[in-house]
Amino acid sequence: MSQREKMMKKLSAAQFALFEIHLYLDTHPDDLQMLSLHRKYQSKYMLIKKEFEEKYGPLTPANGQGVEWLKDPWPWDLERERCDC
C-alpha cells in the first residue's frame, strides 16, 4: 500500500468517526464528552486533509485553484499505473 493510500485510509477513518459522532450528537446534544470527542476528530481530520492536499493536491475541485485540479492524476490514472493495463 502506497503512502498516498495510507493517508486516504486515515482520512476516511477520521471522516467516518466524525459522521458517526455527529449522528449520535443529533440524538444526544447534551453529551459534552462526545462533543469534545467530535472536536478532537474534526481537528484530526483537518490536519490529515491539509497534509494530504499539500503532498498530493486538492481532494475536491472546491479545494483546488482553478485548472490545478485538472492537472492531478485521476483515480483511474493511478489504477492503470498500478495494474500495468
Give per-residue pLDDT as tens, 62-74. Answer: 666 666 666 667 7
Task: Identify whether the C-beta of residue 11 lies closer than 8 Å to the C-beta of residue 48.
Answer: yes
Which amino acid, 1?
M
- The grid coordinates of residue 10 equal 486515515
Task: Identify whether the C-beta of residue 31 lies closer than 8 Å to the C-beta of residue 38.
Answer: no
Half-sphere CA count of 72, side-chain side, radius 13 A:
18
Residue pLDDT, tens place only, 2-33 = 899 999 999 999 999 999 999 999 999 999 99
Global pTM value: 0.68
